[in-house]
C-alpha cells in the first residue's frame, strides 16, 4: 500500500510547462514575501528591544504621524503589487488552454463522481477510471464535468487545479515532460469519502501510450477458466446495473460505478484506497463499507464462491 | 474624579465594594435574563462565546487526533466531516463574531461617552436571538445528525439529494437566527456611534476601536443580509423543492450559491479582522506611551478595506472556471486590499518606534499579532496571484493561511484586548505571570500547529480529507501539527484559568490601571450602570492624556506633527 504513495506530489517539483510557470511565480512571490516579513518582524522586535521601558520616567516624543512617510508606504507596496499583477495575468494566460493551438491537443473527458473519476478518450472509445494515461511531451485538454456535486481535479506536478462542476464544463490543460506516475486528488470537499478520491496520472512515451490505448480499446478478455465463467455470469446478472465491462454482454454505458473493463491493468482499487491485487479485490467485494465507509457500493453479501468467481473474472489479463 | 482617574496611581477600592454584575438592582442572577444594560449584554456575548470556544476547540482537537497519523480510524468519515463543519461554523459564527460584538457592546458606549447603546431592548433581543441560533445549530444532535457540508456548504452537496439528514436544516435555520441577532447588534453600534458621541468627540477624535467597529457594523449590515437571503433560498431548495442551486433542474446554478455565499464571506473576513485592528490600534499606543502614528491613515485605511471587501469575493472561486478576464479583475481588487492593510501594519509598528514600551501581556499579544498577521497577509497575496491560487486553494496551504489571519491575527488581538480591558470589565487585573505563560505557549502551539500546514499544502495535501495515505512527509508534518494543537490547548486552559482566578482574586485595578487615554478609563472599574458621573472634556482623540498633561495636550502637540 505505502509503495503506491512513495512519491511526493509537490507543487514545487513541477513536471510540465504549466506547473513550471506557476512554481516560478510562486518563488517570485515567496521571496518578496520573505523580504516583507523579515523587515516587519525585525522592526517590531527591534522596537521592543531598543525602546523597552526601563523606568526612565517621563514621556517619549509624542509623534502623531508624517504624511510623507504614509504616502511612501502606500505607494511602494502599490507599485510592487502592480508588477505582481502584470505577472499574474501573463501567467494566467500561459497556463490556460491555448486558444489557437498549433496541433490539436489530445482530448479526454473527465467526469467526477462521488468518489471516483471517470476518464473517457472520445476518439478511441476507451473508458477507464481513477488512473489517467497520457503521452509525454504534449498537451492534454481535459473537459471536466461532474455527475453529482462539485469536485476538483488536482495533480500538482502537471498543472493547475480545476473544479468539476455539474452542468458547467471546464477546460483544463495538463502536460507531463517525463514518463512517470503523478499523484493527485480531488481537492474540493465532496462528501463522506472526499479523502479517497485520488488520481493517478501515468505519463508514458507516446508509443507506449498508443499501445496502452489500443489495448484498452479491446474488449475485456473472454473467460476461459470455469471460475471466470461463473464470475462473468454473476457480473452480468448483479454488478452490471452499475458497472460496465465491454465484452461481458451487458448493454454498456452504465457509469453509476467505475467501468471495470481491463481492471487488471490498474494499480489501485476504489480511487486509491487499496492496491489492486486479487486478495485486496476480494476484501473489497466482501464489504466495501468496511474499507471505504459511505461509498455508494453496498455490501452485496456475496458467497465465497461468488467472490472467487468475480475476482477471477475481473482480474483476468 | 476624572482628574484622579487620569493620574498615574489608581484609586484602590476594597474587593467587597466592587459590585458585580454592576448594579443588578437586587434581581440576583435573574437580572442577566432581563437586562438591557449594554455592559451586561456584552458580558453575556463574551461568556457565551467562551463556552462555544471550548466546544469548537474540542472539535479542533478531535480533527487533529484523527489526522495525527495516516490511515487513522479514530473517527468515521461521517463523524469527521460533521466535526470539521461544526468547527468552522462554531468558531466563526459562535465564537469570533459574538466575542467581538460582546467587546464592542461593552466598550463602544463607554468609549464614546454614552450611557448605553441607542436601542437597549433591540440589543437584548439581538443577543437572545443569536443564542437561540447557536443552540438550534447544535440541537440537530438530537436528530442524530449534524451539518456536514463544510462551513460554506457548497451546493449541490448541501442540497437534499446529497445531504438528506436534518442536521443541514438546523444549520441553516440556526445561522439565519444568529444573522438576525448580529444585524440587530450592528444597527445599535452604528446608531450609537453616529448619534451618541460625547460633546467634542468629532469623527476624527473617535477612538480607533470605535472607528473599526463602526465600519465592521456597516459590513455586517450589507454582508449578513445577503447571506440570510441565500440561506432562505437553500432552505427552500431543501424543504420546498425549489431549485435555486440545483444544477440540473430548470435554471438552477450551483455556482450561484458560491457567489451569494462569498459576497457575504469575504466581507465576513474583515468583519472578523477590523475589530482586531481596532484593538491593536488601542493597545499599541497605550503600551508604547505614544499616540497612534497616522491616526487619519489608520482610520481611512479601515474605510478603504471596508469598501474593497465587497469587491473581492471571486478570489474564493478562482478554481471554479469563471474565465481569465473575471478572475483577473478580482485578482487586481484583492491585491489592492493589501495596500490599506499594509498601511495599518506600518503605522502600528512605527507607533512602537521611539516609544517607551511597557512589555505587558497585552503588548506581547499585539506584537505577535503584527508578525503573525503579516504571515497571513502575505499568503493572502499569494492567493490573489491567481495561478498560485489555482495550485494551492483547497489545500492545507489555505488552511494555514486563514488560521494565521483568524487565530494568529484576530484571536491574538482578542487576547490583547481581553488582557487590556479585563480590569474595566471586572475591576481586577488578569494575572500577569499566568498571562505570559499563556502568551508563550500560545505562540509556540499556534505556530507549530499551523506553520507546517503551509508545507503540507505545497506537497499536495488537500483540505477536508478525513485521512490521507502515507505520502512522503505527510505523517511527520501532521504529527507536529497535532502536538502543536495540544500545546495551544494547554495555553487556552491557562487563559481560562486566569479568567476564573483573576475574577475572584486578581489584583484590584482601579479606574485606569494602564494609564490609558480613552473615555472608558474615565469611569470606575467596573463602570456604574449609568457609565459616567461626569465626562471629561474631549478636545482630541486622547482626552485623558490632555487632562494629565495639559502642557503638551494633543491639540498643541499636533502642530509639531512630522518632527521627531
CB pair distance less than 8 Å for B385 and A67:
no
The distance of A275 to chain B (nearest Cα, Å) reads: 12
**Res B438 pLDDT > 80:** yes
CATH of domain A1-51+66-212: 2.60.40.420
List the one residue out of B113, B108, B115 whose CA is nearest residue B543. B113
Residue B561 has pLDDT above 50, yes or no: no
Does the structure show a pLDDT above 80 at B7? Answer: no
| Residues from chain A contacting residue B454 (CB–CB below 8 Å) | none
- Looking at beta carbons, which residues of chain B come within 8 Å of A68? 562
Beta bridge partners of B79: none
B555: pLDDT confidence band, cut at 50, 70 and 90?
low
Mean pLDDT of the region B334-344:
96
pLDDT score at A99: 82
Q: Which domains does chain B have, with CATH numbers?
A: 2-560 (1.20.210.10)
Which residue of B lies nearest to A154 if distances are taken between CA atoms? B391
Residues B161-192: pLDDT tens digits? Answer: 999 999 999 999 999 999 999 999 999 999 99
Q: Residue for cell digits 478511441?
A: A124
Cβ contacts of A88 on chain B, cutoff 8 Å: 328, 331, 384-387
Average pLDDT estimate for B489-511: 96
B357:A185 CB<8 A: no
Residue B408 pLDDT > 90, yes or no?
Answer: yes
Per-residue pLDDT band for B248 (boundaries 50, 70, 90) equals low
A contacts of B255 (beta carbons < 8 Å): 165, 168
What is the model's pTM? 0.94
- Judged by CB atoms closer than 8 Å, whether chains meet at A59 and B458 is answered as no
State the ipTM, two decimals: 0.96
Q: Rounded to an integer, what is the distance from CA B76 to the centroid of its chain?
A: 31
How large is the greatest C-alpha to C-alpha distance in chain B, in angstroms? 74
- Band the pLDDT of B560: cuts 50, 70, 90: very low
> CA-to-CA distance for B2 and B4, rounded, in angstroms?
5
Beta-carbon separation of B549 and A59 below 8 A: yes
Q: With CB atoms and an 8 Å threshold, state whether B319 touches A52.
A: no
In the DSSP assignment, the letter for residue B234 is: H
Q: Work out the mean pLDDT of chain B and round it to a whole number.
A: 92
Which of A32, A64, A74 is opposite residue B561, by nearest beta carbon? A64
Q: If pLDDT is split at 50, 70 and 90, which confidence band does B5 have? A: very low
How much is the pLDDT for B553? 79
CA–CA separation, B458 and B455 (whole Å)? 5
Taking only the tens place, the pLDDT of each residue in B254-289 is: 999 999 999 999 999 999 999 999 999 999 999 999
Tell me whether residues B290 and A167 touch, CB distance under 8 A: no
Contacts of A188 in chain B (CB under 8 A): 154, 319, 394
Q: Dump pLDDT digits (tens) for B60-70.
A: 999 999 999 99
- Per-residue pLDDT at B563 exceeds 90: no
Q: Which one has a higher pLDDT value, A254 or B238?
A: B238
- Which residues of chain B are within 8 Å of residue A36 when distances are taken between CB atoms? 374, 378
In contact, B522 and B542? CB cutoff 8 Å? no
What average pLDDT does this structure show over B9-19? 42
- CA B131-B144-A296 angle, 5° bins: 125
Distance from CA of A226 to the nearest CA of B (A): 37
CA distance B409 to B349: 15
Please identify every stretch of chain A with a pLDDT value under 70, giving residue numbers as ranges: 1, 252-253
Contacts of A272 in chain B (CB under 8 A): 469
> Nearest Cβ partner of B291 from A64, A92, A184?
A64
Q: Which of A45, A63, A186 sits opposite B564 (nearest CB)?
A: A63
Chain B hits for A96, CB-CB cut-off 8 Å, are: 324
Contact flag B460-A91 (C-beta cutoff 8 Å): no
Report d(CA A42, CA A266) in Å as an integer. Answer: 54
Rg of chain B, C-alpha, whole Å:
23
Q: Which of A30, A65, A150 is closest, CB to CB, to B295?
A: A65
Taking a C-beta distance cutoff of 8 angstroms, is the pair B386, A88 a contact? yes
- B338, B349, B358 member nearest A40 (Cβ): B349
pLDDT band at B13 (very low <50, low <70, confident <90, very high): very low
Q: Residue B253's pLDDT is what?
A: 92
Q: Where are the domains of chain A?
A: 1-51+66-212, 226-314
| Per-residue model confidence (pLDDT) at position B4 | 39
Q: Return the SS3 of B18.
A: coil
Please judge whether A70 and B294 are an interchain contact, meaning their C-beta atoms are less than 8 angstroms apart: yes
Confidence of residue B249 (pLDDT cuts 50, 70, 90): low
Q: Given CATH 3.40.50.2300, say whether it is the number of domain A226-314.
A: no
Amino acid at each position: 500500500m505505502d509503495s503506491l504513495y512513495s512519491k511526493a506530489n509537490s507543487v514545487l517539483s513541477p513536471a510540465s510547462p504549466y506547473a513550471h510557470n506557476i512554481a516560478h511565480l510562486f518563488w517570485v512571490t515567496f521571496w518578496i514575501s520573505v523580504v516583507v516579513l523579515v523587515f516587519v518582524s525585525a522592526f517590531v522586535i527591534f522596537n521592543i528591544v531598543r525602546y523597552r521601558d526601563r523606568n526612565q520616567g517621563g514621556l517619549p516624543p509624542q509623534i502623531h504621524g508624517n504624511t510623507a512617510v504614509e504616502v511612501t508606504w502606500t505607494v511602494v507596496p502599490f507599485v510592487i503589487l502592480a508588477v505582481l499583477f502584470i505577472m499574474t495575468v501573463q501567467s494566467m494566460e500561459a497556463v490556460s488552454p491555448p486558444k489557437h493551438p498549433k496541433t490539436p491537443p489530445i482530448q479526454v473527458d473527465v467526469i467526477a463522481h462521488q468518489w471516483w473519476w471517470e476518464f473517457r478518450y472520445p476518439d478511441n472509445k476507451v473508458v477507464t477510471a481513477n488512473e489517467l494515461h497520457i503521452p509525454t511531451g504534449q498537451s492534454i485538454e481535459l473537459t471536466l464535468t461532474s455527475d453529482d456535486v462539485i469536485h476538483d481535479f488536482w495533480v500538482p506536478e502537471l498543472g493547475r487545479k480545476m473544479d468539476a462542476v455539474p452542468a458547467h464544463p471546464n477546460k483544463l490543460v495538463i502536460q507531463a515532460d517525463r514518463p512517470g506516475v503523478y499523484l493527485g486528488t480531488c481537492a474540493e470537499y465532496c462528501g463522506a469519502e472526499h479523502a479517497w478520491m485520488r488520481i493517478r496520472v501515468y505519463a508514458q512515451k507516446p508509443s507506449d501510450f498508443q499501445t496502452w490505448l489500443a489495448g484498452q480499446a479491446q474488449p475485456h478478455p473472454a473467460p476461459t477458466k470455469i471460475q471466470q465463467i461463473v464470475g462473468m455470469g454473476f457480473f452480468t446478472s448483479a454488478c452490471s446495473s452499475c458497472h460496465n465491462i465491454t465484452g461481458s454482454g451487458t448493454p454498456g454505458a452504465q457509469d453509476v460505478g467505475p467501468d471495470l473493463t481491463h481492471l487488471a491493468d490498474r494499480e489501485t482499487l476504489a480511487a486509491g484506497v487499496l492496491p489492486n491485487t486479487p486478495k485486496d479485490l476480494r476484501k473489497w467485494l466482501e464489504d466495501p463499507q468496511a474499507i471505504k465507509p459511505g461509498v455508494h457500493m453496498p455490501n452485496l453479501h456475496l458467497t465465497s464462491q461468488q467472490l472467487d468467481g468475480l475476482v477471477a473474472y475481473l482480474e483476468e489479463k | 474624579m476624572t482628574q484622579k482617574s487620569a493620574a498615574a496611581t489608581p484609586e484602590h477600592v476594597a474587593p467587597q465594594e466592587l459590585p458585580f454584575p454592576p448594579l443588578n438592582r437586587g434581581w440576583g442572577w435573574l437580572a442577566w435574563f432581563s437586562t438591557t444594560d449594554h455592559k451586561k449584554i456584552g458580558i453575556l456575548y463574551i461568556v457565551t462565546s467562551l463556552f462555544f470556544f471550548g466546544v469548537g476547540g474540542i472539535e479542533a482537537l478531535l480533527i487533529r487526533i484523527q489526522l495525527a497519523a495516516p490511515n487513522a480510524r479514530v473517527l468515521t468519515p461521517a463523524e469527521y466531516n460533521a466535526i470539521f463543519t461544526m468547527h468552522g461554523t462554531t468558531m466563526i459564527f459562535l465564537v469570533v463574531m459574538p466575542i467581538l460584538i460582546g467587546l464592542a457592546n461593552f466598550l463602544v458606549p463607554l468609549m464614546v461617552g454614552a450611557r448605553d447603546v441607542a436601542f437597549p431592548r433591540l440589543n437584548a433581543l439581538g443577543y437572545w436571538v443569536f443564542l437561540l441560533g447557536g443552540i438550534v445549530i447544535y440541537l440537530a444532535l438530537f436528530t442524530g445528525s449534524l451539518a456536514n457540508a463544510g462551513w460554506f456548504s457548497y451546493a449541490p452537496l448541501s442540497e437534499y439529494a446529497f445531504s438528506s439528514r436534518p442536521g443541514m436544516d438546523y444549520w441553516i435555520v440556526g445561522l439565519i437566527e444568529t444573522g438576525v441577532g448580529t444585524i440587530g447588534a450592528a444597527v445599535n453600534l452604528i446608531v450609537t456611534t453616529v448619534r451618541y458621541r460625547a460633546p467634542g468627540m468629532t469623527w476624527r477624535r473617535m477612538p480607533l476601536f470605535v472607528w473599526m467597529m463602526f465600519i465592521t457594523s456597516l459590513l455586517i449590515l450589507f454582508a449578513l443580509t445577503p447571506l440570510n437571503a441565500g440561506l432562505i433560498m437553500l432552505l427552500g431548495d431543501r424543504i420546498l423543492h425549489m431549485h435555486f442551486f440545483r444544477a440540473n433542474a430548470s435554471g438552477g446554478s450551483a455556482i450561484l450559491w458560491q457567489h451569494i455565499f462569498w459576497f457575504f464571506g469575504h466581507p465576513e473576513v474583515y468583519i472578523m479582522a477590523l475589530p482586531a485592528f481596532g484593538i491593536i490600534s488601542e493597545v499599541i499606543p497605550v503600551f508604547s506611551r505614544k499616540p497612534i502614528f497616522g491616526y487619519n491613515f489608520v482610520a481611512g485605511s479601515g474605510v478603504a478595506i471596508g469598501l474593497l471587501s465587497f469587491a473581492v469575493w471571486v478570489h474564493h472561486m478562482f478554481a471554479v472556471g469563471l474565465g481569465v478576464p473575471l478572475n483577473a479583475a478580482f485578482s487586481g481588487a484583492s491585491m489592492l486590499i493589501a495596500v490599506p492593510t499594509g498601511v495599518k501594519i506600518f503605522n502600528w509598528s512605527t507607533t512602537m518606534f521611539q516609544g517607551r514600551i511597557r512589555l505587558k501581556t497585552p503588548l506581547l499579544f499585539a506584537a505577535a499579532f503584527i508578525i503573525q498577521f503579516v504571515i497571513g497577509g502575505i499568503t493572502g497575496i499569494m492567493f490573489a496571484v491567481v495561478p498560485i491560487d489555482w495550485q494551492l486553494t483547497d489545500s492545507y496551504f489555505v488552511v494555514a493561511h486563514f488560521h494565521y489571519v483568524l487565530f494568529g491575527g484576530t484571536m491574538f488581538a482578542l487576547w490583547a484586548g481581553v488582557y487590556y480591558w479585563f480590569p474595566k470589565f471586572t475591576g481586577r487585573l488578569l494575572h500577569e505571570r499566568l498571562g505570559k505563560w499563556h502568551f508563550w505557549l500560545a505562540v509556540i502551539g499556534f505556530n507549530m500547529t499551523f506553520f507546517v500546514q503551509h508545507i503540507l499544502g505545497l506537497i499536495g495535501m488537500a483540505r477536508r480529507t478525513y485521512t490521507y495515505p502515507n505520502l512522503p512527509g505527510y505523517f511527520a508534518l501532521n504529527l507536529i501539527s497535532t502536538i502543536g494543537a495540544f500545546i495551544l490547548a494547554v495555553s487556552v486552559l491557562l487563559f481560562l484559568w486566569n479568567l476564573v482566578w483573576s475574577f475572584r482574586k486578581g489584583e484590584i485595578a482601579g479606574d485606569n490601571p494602564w494609564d490609558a487615554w480613552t473615555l472608558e478609563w474615565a469611569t470606575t472599574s467596573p463602570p456604574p450602570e449609568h457609565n459616567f458621573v461626569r465626562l471629561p472634556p474631549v478636545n482630541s482623540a486622547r482626552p485623558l492624556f490632555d487632562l494629565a498633561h495639559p502642557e503638551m495636550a494633543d491639540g498643541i502637540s499636533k502642530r509639531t506633527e512630522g518632527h521627531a
